[in-house]
Structure 1
Amino acid sequence: MEAIDLVGSEFEEIVRYYGKVWLPAKLFVKQAIVNCKKVHSSGAIIDLSQSGEMPWIEHLINTEKELNIEGQIKFAIFYDVSGIWRLSCVPQSYSLDVLRIPFHPDWHGLSYSAFCDISGIPDCIYIHPLISDFETRESCIAVAEKLIQLNSDRYLTLNKAHSISDGSFYSVTDQLSLVEIPIIQPKGSMKFFPLDLKVGF
């Protein structure tokens, strides 16, 4: 009987989780994706600041597939009860091994004054490789916008070089800022920016 009670208790816990956490999170993430252009015109940033702690990566990837916009969302904004705004890079898949657009490696570890000096963007608390802390929502959006632009510039450079080499014609579309640029590094890791890329602010 103890085993049956244990299994029953675990089953009830799973049902409660899916009913009270997983499903509401799915609906919340889908609504955030639908409203993404209210956050930024690129449609690449979603605001999850009202969500609290919840599972979101699986829902984001699955919802993108449902809406036929796979890979569109690059960043998610969160708000911590301590008063800190956070900008998270969105992973390429369910794992965190590859990010769609990562924070620039030259930014990692920079604190407020150092980051502000090179970017002109205020209110930075700390830059982490995956998720970074800011004092305001506006700074989160400004940093995401800067990274989207850097990614677009990199894409333009690569495609222009390619078109010159093979004589093909290339055009810039409104989807340009949403294209991933994987750069294969030694040891098989992937980054979207070469380590020697200079940040041109």
Structure 2
Amino acid sequence: MSTSPAKKSKTTMKIGTHSGTFHADESLAVYMLRLLPRFADAEIVRSRDQAVLEECDVIVDVTGQYDGVKFFDHHQREFTDTFSADFHTRLSSAGLVYKHFGKEIIAEVCGLDDDAEALDTLYLRVYKNFVEAIDANDNGVDAYPTDISPKFKPHGITLPSLVSQLNPFWTEPSDDDALMQRFLIASDLMGTAFKRHVESQGKSWLPAKQFVQKAFADRFQYDNEGRIIVFDDFVPWKEHLFEVERDAGMVGKVLYVLYSDGKGWRIQAVPEAPTSFQSRKALPEAWRGARDEKLDAICGIDGSVFVHVAGFIGGNKTRQGALDMAKLALAL
């Protein structure tokens, strides 16, 4: 999506932001705006000259003004806005643009213009899972209490840190043209990650729910207590399964999920929570770390491929073999 600001027509829309060092929030804000057809070919103006910025159609992260129409800055002392009353993170320019244009952006990226329920779901989910972290970073909010020491340093691989590193070193040219070119790279970096995240939610995660609902409804054909569900192909099932169980008043009932990995079949233990590494019922201790013929001999099921040493996942060459492993694991 990168474009040079040179030789634009008088009718071309203009997106303004500040000159000098750039950051993750305005890099993303600009990209998000340019996902919309009316801003797709917009000229990017980087300046701190008020008169120059006033000529722009929309201005992000500069001028100390916010009206939700033309101005999207968050630096003014009196600004305390959050995404909604359910959030505590102060918005950055990225959050401001997303708050006002997010549903339109999602509809454009995922083709969901006529699905209001899906847009509402994705609008909140994308903010929670992507944009809020950018707001927090720009406003100096730590994800964890500062008295907790991390086991490694993650700062060099976060999106904001990668954007920061795209700014010129003190040994490199830092004129306006050089900074513009680097800003465009930063904007593409942030925007590509954002767009892919939106696509993953709207085109992968959301459609998977109907398959989880059907698999949950069909589960008693594999186990009379409904503890096994089966998918013909992999779908992102974890969060949906917890929601489907909750809606049915049966939280914790499903213990194993089976699906094809394209070559064979996997058996996965359902975690205690969607992001937990602890399983409701891990695969048997005796199977863990074993592979192929050795695993066949231990569990007595042909075609066994492996069981992870932590017991949360295993594999078999066939659907029936994976199902037999799941049924036996329930009995042990």
Shorter chain as normaliser: what TM range? 0.5 to 0.7
Greater relative contact order (Cα < 8 A, sep 6+): 1
Q: Does 2:229 correspond to 1:46?
A: yes
Aligned to 1:104: 284
The answer on whether the counterparts of 1:90 and 1:101 sit within 8 Å (CA) in structure 2 is yes
Match of 2:259 in 1: 78
Q: What displacement does 1:113 show?
A: 1.7
Distance between the aligned counterparts of 2:284 and 2:320, measured in 1?
A: 19
Distance 1:41 1:135 in 2: 25
| Higher deviation after alignment, 119-128 or 34-43 | 34-43
What is the CA-CA distance between 1:70 and the residue it aligns to? Answer: 0.6
Report how many residues are paired: 147
1:144 aligns with 326
Per-residue deviation, 1:77 = 0.7
Name the SS of the counterpart of 2:226 in structure 1: coil
Moved more, 6-15 or 115-124: 6-15
Question: What secondary structure does 1:118 align onto?
Answer: helix
Determine if the alignment matches structure 1 residue 29 to structure 2 residue 212: yes
TM-score by length of 2: 0.41
8 Å contact kept, 1:40–1:141? no
Give how far 1:19 is off: 3.3
Deviates more, 1:2-11 or 1:22-31: 2-11
Contact 2:286 2:298 in 1 (8 A): no
Structure 2 residue runs of 5 or longer lacking an equivalent are: 1-14, 17-25, 36-101, 110-194
CA distance in 2 between partners of 1:98 and 1:143 (Å)? 20
Please state how far the C-alpha of 1:15 moved relative to its aligned partner: 5.4
Please say if residues 270 and 280 of structure 2, whose CA atoms lie closer than 8 Å, have aligned partners that are also in contact.
yes
Cα deviation, residue 123, structure 1: 0.8
The match for 2:159 is none
Q: Deviations over 1:118-145 (max 9, x none)?
A: 2211110111122111111111111111
Give the Cα–Cα distance (whole angstroms) in 1 for the partners of residues 237 and 283 of structure 2. 20
Q: Does 1:114 pair with 2:297?
A: no
Cα distance in 2 between the residues matched to 1:96 and 1:41? 27
Runs of 4+ in structure 1 off by over 3 angstroms are: 2-5, 8-19
How big is the shift at 1:96? 2.7
One-letter code aligned to 2:228: I
Higher mean displacement: 14-23 or 132-141? 14-23
Q: Give the distance between the partners of 1:119 and 1:134, measured in 2 at CA.
A: 12
Contact preservation (8 Å) 1:116, 1:124: yes
Question: Any idea what the Cα deviations from partners look like across 1:23-82, whole Å, max 9, x if unmatched?
Answer: 2111111111011112333311111223x3x4211110111000111111111111112x
* Cα distance in 2, alignment partners of residues 42 and 123 from structure 1: 26
**Residues in 2 aligned to 1:146 and 1:32: alpha-carbon distance in whole angstroms:** 20
Q: Which amino acid aligns with 2:220?
A: K
Give the distance between the partners of 1:77 and 1:49, measured in 2 at CA. Answer: 8
1:6 aligns with 2:31: yes
Matched letter for residue 312 of structure 2:
L
Q: Secondary structure at the match of 1:63?
A: helix
* Aligned mates of 1:22, 1:86 — CA distance in 2: 20
Which stretches in structure 1 are left out of the alignment for 5+ residues? 151-201
Within 2, Cα distance between the matches of 1:32 and 1:121?
24
Conserved 8 A contact 2:228-2:256:
yes
Residue identity (%): 26
Distance 1:100 1:28 in 2: 22
Query: Amino acid of the residue matched to residue 77 of structure 1?
Result: L
Query: Is the CA contact (8 Å cut-off) linking 2:287 and 2:299 kept in structure 1?
Result: no
The one-letter code matched in structure 1 to 2:236 is P
Task: Give how far 1:17 is off.
Answer: 3.9
User: Partner letter of residue 6 of structure 1?
Assistant: Y
TM-score, with structure 1 as normaliser = 0.66
Provide closer, same or farther for how the CA distance between residues 16 and 112 of structure 1 changes in structure 2, counting only shifts above 3 A. Answer: closer
